[in-house]
Structure 1
Amino acid sequence: MSDVSDWWRTSIIDMEPGRIELRGHPIQDLIGNVSFAEMIWLMVRGDRPTPAQARLFEAALVSAVDHGPQAPSIAAARMAVTCGLPLNNAMASAVNMLGDVHGGAGEQAVEMYTHIADWDGNIDSALDAWVAAQGKIIPGFGHRFHTPVDPRAPRLMHLVREATQEGACNGKFAEIGEAVEASLARRKGRPIPMNIDGATAVIYAELGFAAPLARGLFCLSRSVGILSHAWEQTEQGGRNKGPTPPSYRWTFDPPRKTDETA
């Protein structure tokens, strides 16, 4: 049986008839005694957060639940419902939209903060090296809709400072994030404030989450908004609604004439 039982190996769950243990904790001891955010931490990390860590972690999860029907993932969920898909399929369609461009900035910001933390030099040279390797877009800063300030970021950074005072984290990555913000303002000659992705990246880095988990945690957070919008669209009804009303048409680009078709 070892060849079969060893096919999958996990330290996350152990169970047999009448017994379920998650990370070594009987499920009945967890139910009613840990929050959902604490449960996410336990399942992903294998340990339990301190109360101060749990509060900061939950704040990051709450902050990113929704950003309106114009967000591609939310729009995809609503359109999926109008195409007759049930909630689970609508949610899957939406989560699959969360890639490098829409949904990946938090992971990228954690990577950038880590790069700066490991850099042997000042913040400007660290950013120069990042841009040379990754391109000119600085993840986690600036927002095309929320100008001049993304209202979520200052609140989260305030909570990071409180958590640092409580010993939940050491504030290292908060200082890096603020240094990036200051450097960008000097370079551009105007403020380029931290946005939600930059702020949640500070929190996840402060709490010791690996960069790829920042995207996974964002997917969990945004799934709340996705479910809400998919259910709202279900209740509103509507059939086969595309990205624009039917009276609007796309722009048609005629085929370019070549020497053979002229």
Structure 2
Amino acid sequence: MPDHADGYPTALGASTPETITLLGADLAGDIMGKVGFGELAFWLAAQRRPTTGETRVFEAVLAALADHGFTPTAIVTRLTYLSAPDSVQGALAAGLLGGGSRFLGVTEDSARFLHRHLPDPLPADDTAWDTLARDVLRAQGGARIPGLGHHLHKDGDPRTPRLMRIAAEEGLFGPHLSLFAAIGRVHPRLLGKTLPLNGAGACGAALADLGLPLELLRGFALLARTAGLIGQLAEELHRPVANEIFLSVDLNHRPVPPGGPGGSYG
């Protein structure tokens, strides 16, 4: 068994009978009322305090991912609350558990994809980035590109250019965003169609350019969506729709034989 005679090391929160410290600072005196939540979330994950520009980009990402209306995550949160109004935590957890490869998880998937294809040394200009992007797309052989395409914003996701602009204004338009932008420029000719660079992919690229751990990027998407799900529950309290959603399925089901079209799953 490991020897913990020297205690369990942590640079995060710690308490004594008189004080509470967080990240080496006095929580009550140095953080509360002085550090915004977005800045603190970055600080906790990166173990360093972000610059003003980093905070702006990070909070723009959180805003971009907070709520997208009646998505599956929002619907399941409302339905869980309908079923168990005594369990707000259950309703929020139900929505967050739906953050996967189709919703929310694209943020992490895009960042990992882009990071995997960054060369050393990095391209020197847009022409070289475009060459790299073409090589990346050819290597995919027609497989899905995380962050490319959107089910609704066919002519462009409004979040993407805005986030790229904010990152550029703050001098934080790094290699992940550069490759992402290059993929946006070159893919129509290679794929034979034009697809939008979606906001979730741009968010993943921006978070990676901030130097945040790739392993945690889905966590930031979930952090943002938690705020949105709380908003969904707040609206459900005043303008409930969950029962109508439930009844629209329950009263319109169509009985079929068990299994597949032939009567079995086999």
TM-score range, shorter chain: 0.7 to 0.9
When residues 182 and 13 of structure 1 are mapped into structure 2, their CA distance, relative to the original with a 3 A threshold, is: same
Any residues of structure 2 matched to 1:58-137 within 5 Å, and which?
58-69=59-70, 71-85=71-85, 86-118=87-119, 122-129=132-139, 131=140, 136-137=143-144
> Which residue of 2 is the match for residue 34 of structure 1?
35
SS at match of 2:118: helix
Q: Which runs of 5+ in 1 are unaligned?
A: none
Q: Deviation digits for residues 96-137 of structure 1, max 9, x if unmatched?
A: 1112332211111111111121378832223344x36xx811
SS at match of 2:117: helix
Q: CA deviation at 1:40?
A: 0.2
SS at match of 1:89: helix
Letter of the 1:192 counterpart: L
Any residues of structure 2 matched to 1:80-229 within 5 Å, and which?
80-85=80-85, 86-118=87-119, 122-129=132-139, 131=140, 136-164=143-171, 169=172, 171-229=174-232
Letter of the 1:161 counterpart: A
When residues 171 and 205 of structure 1 are mapped into structure 2, their CA distance, relative to the original with a 3 A threshold, is: same
TM-score, length-scaled by structure 2: 0.84
Matched, 1:56 2:57: yes
SS at match of 2:246: coil
Q: Which runs of 5+ in 2 are unaligned?
A: 122-130
SS at match of 2:234: helix
SS at match of 1:122: helix
When residues 68 and 46 of structure 1 are mapped into structure 2, their CA distance, relative to the original with a 3 A threshold, is: same
- The question of whether the paired residues in 2 share the 8 Å contact of 1:108 and 1:211 is answered with no
- The question of whether the paired residues in 2 share the 8 Å contact of 1:123 and 1:179 is answered with yes
Q: CA deviation at 1:234?
A: 2.8
Q: CA deviation at 1:56?
A: 1.0
When residues 257 and 50 of structure 1 are mapped into structure 2, their CA distance, relative to the original with a 3 A threshold, is: closer
- The question of whether the paired residues in 2 share the 8 Å contact of 1:81 and 1:234 is answered with no
Identity of aligned residues (%): 26
SS at match of 1:76: helix
TM-score, length-scaled by structure 1: 0.85
Paired with 1:57 and 1:201, the residues of 2 have a C-alpha distance of 11
- The question of whether the paired residues in 2 share the 8 Å contact of 1:60 and 1:200 is answered with yes
Letter of the 2:115 counterpart: T
- The question of whether the paired residues in 1 share the 8 Å contact of 2:62 and 2:220 is answered with yes
Paired with 1:54 and 1:95, the residues of 2 have a C-alpha distance of 24
Q: Deviation digits for residues 19-48 of structure 1, max 9, x if unmatched?
A: 111110110210111111001011111111
Paired with 2:213 and 2:61, the residues of 1 have a C-alpha distance of 15
SS at match of 1:21: strand
Paired with 2:54 and 2:26, the residues of 1 have a C-alpha distance of 23
Matched, 1:249 2:259: no
Q: Deviation digits for residues 141-188 of structure 1, max 9, x if unmatched?
A: 110111211111111111111111xxxx25322211111112321222
- The question of whether the paired residues in 2 share the 8 Å contact of 1:76 and 1:94 is answered with yes
Paired with 2:133 and 2:247, the residues of 1 have a C-alpha distance of 42
SS at match of 2:189: helix
Letter of the 1:35 counterpart: G
Out of 110-119 and 33-42, give the one that drifted further.
110-119
